[in-house]
Structures are given as structure tokens and as C-alpha cells.
Amino acid sequence: MHEGRVAVTYDPSRPIGPQLRETLRQQIVQNDLPPGARISEAEIAKKFGISRQPVREAFIKLAEEGLVEIRPQRGTVVRRIDPDEVLDARFVREAVEADIVRMLAEKSDSDVVAELRRQVIEQRKAAETSAKDFILADELFHRTLAVGAGKESVWDIIQGLKAQMDRVRFLSFDLYQYDQLIAQHEMIIDSVEQGDARGAEDATRRHLRAVLDDLPSIMRANPEVFTPLTEGTHETRSIQRRNP
């Protein structure tokens, strides 16, 4: 176990707790703070000249997302990625986003479609320059779907559920098939524009289920990052068939 180097800047005019939480969350999700890294409540408080209470609150929120483990008397460490939690998050996200695109297709807002097509152009540019930029562009695309369907608050809830999925995404840069992902986005847009609710739903489900295809390779390449799979579930058996 090693000490995690936490790089945090904050705006003193805003509450510090939420800023700390978001910065630490980003560093964990992007693997700047890897599994096993120890983060010190006392050291962060001292570094920024604040009390330990907002740091403690940030740690509690991160623990609720499954990103850190708070060990009394022993400190706080970044958790390994639980593949079962990744699969559960994918299951919930797929169900929610399938309904979101169905609702969006049923009203087929031309302004939303135009914005989504503009974003696809930006995704192609991002794919040529930076994997991180592409992930951020992808995130914006899915948020735009939710906002277009009038479900922005639901997307905010999903954000709290999919932290483990996001960690996997930042581990899988080398496996990204950008053309395929963008083509899937275009299929979703086409279905929404045509008012094809079933087609939009099916395209979204196929898009989000791709994690089942990539996860075995990511686990093989980064075994120290993951906890073992739980035996017996349908998705676990699917993963194991891909990960002999």
C-alpha cells in the first residue's frame, strides 16, 4: 500500500466538502489514485488549512459510491474495482437509458437531434487526439439524451451509480473501437430522428452491453485492479466464457 498524492485546488467562496469529493472522485475514476492508495484525512486537512470535518464528509460520500474504504484507526484506502458492481451499474444504466431514448424518440425534437449530430462530429475529432477527451464527449452525449427527454435529474442519479463503470472506461483506452462507438451513437440518433422508439431502445441496449465484451480483456490486463467475480450469476458466466 502506498500514499496517494492528492492534487486539490478549491474555490474558498464555495463549500469545500463537495469540491474535495468531486476532485478525489475524478482522481480515483481516472486512476490517478489507484486501488490500494492510502489517502489521509489529516494530511489533506492540514495541506489546505481546513478542519477535518469537510474531508471526512467527502470520504463518506466516496465510500457510499464504493470508491474508498474507511478503516477505523487504519486510514482510508482506494478500493479495487468490483466487477459485479460494474455489471450491476450497467444493468441499471441500460434500463434507465433505454427508457430515456424511447421517450426522446416518441417526441423526436429536431433541435436535440441537431445537437447530437454536432456532438458526433466533435467525438470524431476527440478520437483523433485524446482518449480522455473522447470519454468526456461520450459523457456529454448521454447526458444530452437525458436532458432532451426531460430527465436531467435522473442522469444525475445515474452518475452516482456508474463510478465503477467509469473506472473501467479509463482503464480501457487501448481497447477503444472509436468508429464502432460513434456508429452506435449515430444509430441511436437515426432512430430518435425517425421516431423509432423500439429501434432507439435496441440500439442503446447494444451500445451499453459492450462492457461485457471488453471487461474480460481489461481484467486480464489489470488483475491487480479488480476483485474476483462472484460465482453463479448469468452475467458472471458470460464474463467467464470470455475470460478463460
Residue 28 shares a structural domain with residue 120: no
Tell me what percent of the residues of the chain surpass a pLDDT of 70: 89
Residue 33 shares a structural domain with residue 112: no
Residue 28 shares a structural domain with residue 111: no
Predicted confidence band of residue 8 (pLDDT cuts 50, 70, 90): low
How does pLDDT run across 90-103, given as a tens digit for each residue? 999 999 999 999 99
Predicted confidence band of residue 19 (pLDDT cuts 50, 70, 90): confident
Nearest to 166 by CA among 61, 78, 90: 90
* pLDDT score, position 139: 93
Instruction: Output the 3-class SS for the chain.
Output: CCECCCCCCCCCCCCHHHHHHHHHHHHHHCCCCCCCCEECHHHHHHHHCCCHHHHHHHHHHHHHCCCEEEECCCEEEECCECHHHHHHHHHHHHHHHHHHHHHHHHHCCHHHHHHHHHHHHHHHHHHCCCHHHHHHHHHHHHHHHHHHCCCHHHHHHHHHHCHHHHHHHHHCHHHCCHHHHHHHHHHHHHHHHCCCHHHHHHHHHHHHCHHHHHHHHHHHHCHHHECCCCCCCHHHHHHHHHCC
CATH code, domain carrying 69: 1.10.10.10
Residue 45 shares a structural domain with residue 141: no
Give the mean model confidence (pLDDT) for residues 82-91: 90
Nearest to 207 by CA among 158, 155, 138: 138
* pLDDT score, position 45: 85
- Structural domain that includes position 211: 83-242
pTM, two decimals, is 0.82
Give the mean model confidence (pLDDT) for residues 175-203: 94
Residue 68 shares a structural domain with residue 102: no
Whether the per-residue pLDDT at 4 is higher than 80: the answer is no
- Give the count of domains, the chain: 2
